[in-house]
Structure 1
């Protein structure tokens, strides 16, 4: 069972970013009525009984005793957590020990409360210190995975497919062709660097709230297509930690799709094509496909507010010249160019309005109104439609960064995003690992100090413990075994992830029970 170590340069990984607000509760994971299932309730499987790790009484990644003062004296946990880099081994150790939701990650990839090959045969790839990259790692349980992560302290964890056998045993298989991928979520990767030619506020790895709006547009379009056109239900959007976003489509019928079907879905969603600079990137047949028509309806408001008004993409003369190349009539573009040359500094919104105004003025005798309308539709799509890294979606064996890992450059956690609260999500407000560790220490110091701090914090004393209602709607119960992630701003993201996983497992369990019931009925004579 040899583990391969290769240089990180061969990794298929990419870096991306964003932030999210506390989600609304998802539907309860009840049995649904008429089928008696003799199993433990799914919600009970997520009982917060993870170890409190008394061997690590403070999140401070050193053994120095914490200061009794909440103002972070030199060498205190608060100061150390903030001063160290996100990729520092002691920071990673504290994060994996105290905050990473191992149990929920296992349930998500295992699709069942008890261990199955869905998890045991799943490939994980790890980026270790000195950029060493290990592939074909696998683990039978979440506890064993957690133990090895605390030993290896990877700066990055990537998730691959489920194989026909344990990936660690691939070299022992007699027939090499027998070791092959059989299942994986359908994934999408969208990176703001692919928008550099149309965004004006930032470039390269830099992002702000203005250009993050392109990610909002992307999620709206892709999520609608996956749900309405393909009937997919379990779609999880995850902030990449820096400048992008990932989608994980987790439905069972999706996970078993072969490469040909994955390419078909990817090609269906791909509209922006062509090189990084210049040229027309949208070339669509008419009449427009219903997916494109729906996308235009979704994107039109964003084009007016976030593109024309905020990005102002054609204020610069060179960029305005590109817009003219996208219009179909030479006399029209000549008249527009003359108008803009006479009015330097004209805004993009004004230039966009000029197209119709000049067209109606009769500047061109050969203008085809239908062609102009279609060209303007293509322009809207070029400046708003999602720019997908399509290769990520086409291959069953492609690796993608795991949710909840830390981006080594920004220190931000790769958190899931509730698409119902997409407009509220702020990538720059996503917590960094240093901030999270400091929040744990603030909680501890406040509790030890008798709760003299902010009322926003819950103390660990029983009389002040928060009341958490049970999942079954029963009476409230006071909590004393509060998990470390619950003491931090990571809490809403973990809770949303937990709800997503519960719903996924419930649907898979109900489908299995229904199938077993139908098989039993078919055997009756």
Structure 2
């Protein structure tokens, strides 16, 4: 049975920051709600077993892990670590952080950093992580900009998750992969396989290099250069991109509607003769739809193709593919991935700008996940209040009762996704333990 859940959709074209109208991260009420969240909702057991590598007994994989907290009035605290799950829970409740970041596993406990020599405190391992932010698509999307998102531009995230997930599973053979909504305008990916955790910075750079197609800053017009014969990863990715390109880029984003939009695409074309032909053709029919202008590109390619041979013809035929890649292929923040000591926001944080919980996304749910329907802090607290009113219990509980409270809120489907992910890691750890005993 799939854990994917289709959530209610909002107006398809309305930009939104996802901020709840009643949500104010600076208010005293927010602090009280956050304390309740950490007291009754946060999935400590699953979280602990994930970061403990699926083991029942606490290991250095957990004890030597760096956490950082943002508390109070934007006070940032690094190099926190915990001896066990109970201590982690008590510190979360004591500090009530507005943001939690997860870092590397070090050679010694991060909280002891000041008492050891620098050479004795080195990052040893960390999950392979990816960060994809919607603002990196601002030069492409026309519906929103900055921190705003809508269902139209969220499709860029859907494409990114599909393309990268396929590469990680099919090309690299990774199994323990968790995608997480950032709480506002992007997604994070955590690869927890042992091979991934033990990658050096160079190994991480190699994977980024394998995945990266779009190169160059905002002032570089042509960011994609493809050979006529595509690598299998790029060929597989192209099939995903093509499935979305027409509706997303030509219809919903309508990128060729204005002259500024079509001139941007013209400048992406490497062939000078084709650039001139396109510019002239589109200028003659400025009011034609983006779809019609795209069809004109086909006509121009066919016309010039009759005059070309060899590599010149092959180069001409790559133009459309390069444009499709530049408009839709994932845009990675390589620094997040390549630096083993780089921290990344924790799952199940509450985003301080939107109040939305950073929830995991099941791979079966890439197409149906709705970032604007993700539970907010105030929504969850209200649901808890209703549950406690119904049950007649209002005091904080420990053990199973506390876990059951969270599953009676709108976080339930996301907790199931997290549980499935952690269960896979625990099975792997148990299998390895059984193998050692068998020897």
With the length of structure 2 as denominator, give the TM-score of the two structures. Answer: 0.89
CA distance, structure 2, for counterparts of residue 495 and residue 176 of structure 1 = 41
* 1:172 equivalent in structure 2: 115
CA distance, structure 1, for counterparts of residue 201 and residue 345 of structure 2 = 20
Give the one of 7, 15, 24 matched to 1:85.
24
* 1:40 equivalent in structure 2: none
CA drift of 1:481 comes to 7.6
Match status 1:416 vs 2:360: yes
CA distance, structure 2, for counterparts of residue 22 and residue 440 of structure 1 = 23
CA distance, structure 2, for counterparts of residue 242 and residue 180 of structure 1 = 32
The 1:515/1:316 distance shift into structure 2, 3 A limit, reads: farther
* 1:129 equivalent in structure 2: 72
* 2:15 equivalent in structure 1: none
* 1:499 equivalent in structure 2: 420
The 1:136/1:340 distance shift into structure 2, 3 A limit, reads: same
The C-alpha deviation readout for 1:139-186, integer Å capped at 9, x for no partner, is 11222112112111111000011111111112222x421211111100
Give the one of 358, 381, 384 matched to 2:300.
358
CA distance, structure 2, for counterparts of residue 94 and residue 482 of structure 1 = 13
Matching of residues 187-336 of structure 1 within 5 Å: 187-336=129-278
* 1:514 equivalent in structure 2: 435
CA drift of 1:124 comes to 0.3
The 1:335/1:106 distance shift into structure 2, 3 A limit, reads: same
Matching of residues 4-83 of structure 1 within 5 Å: 22-23=3-4, 83=22
Question: Which structure: greater helix fraction?
Answer: 2
Give the one of 340, 348, 362 matched to 1:396.
340
* 1:10 equivalent in structure 2: none
Which has the larger displacement, 162-171 or 404-413?
162-171
Contact 2:128–2:191 (CA under 8 A) maintained in structure 1: yes
Secondary structure, counterpart of 1:274 in structure 2: coil
The 1:339/1:90 distance shift into structure 2, 3 A limit, reads: same
Secondary structure, counterpart of 1:383 in structure 2: helix
Contact 2:41–2:403 (CA under 8 A) maintained in structure 1: no
CA drift of 1:499 comes to 1.6
Secondary structure, counterpart of 1:130 in structure 2: coil
* 2:85 equivalent in structure 1: 142
* 2:316 equivalent in structure 1: 372
CA drift of 1:22 comes to 4.8
Contact 1:86–1:406 (CA under 8 A) maintained in structure 2: no
* 2:99 equivalent in structure 1: 156
CA distance, structure 2, for counterparts of residue 332 and residue 393 of structure 1 = 37
Q: Work out which of the two has the higher radius of gyration on C-alpha atoms and give 1 or 2.
A: 1
Unaligned segments of structure 1, at least 5 residues: 1-20, 25-80, 449-458, 461-478, 521-525
With the length of structure 1 as denominator, give the TM-score of the two structures. Answer: 0.75
Say how many residue pairs are matched: 413
The C-alpha deviation readout for 1:34-58, integer Å capped at 9, x for no partner, is xxxxxxxxxxxxxxxxxxxxxxxxx
CA distance, structure 1, for counterparts of residue 141 and residue 402 of structure 2 = 47
The C-alpha deviation readout for 1:429-459, integer Å capped at 9, x for no partner, is 00100000111112233445xxxxxxxxxx9
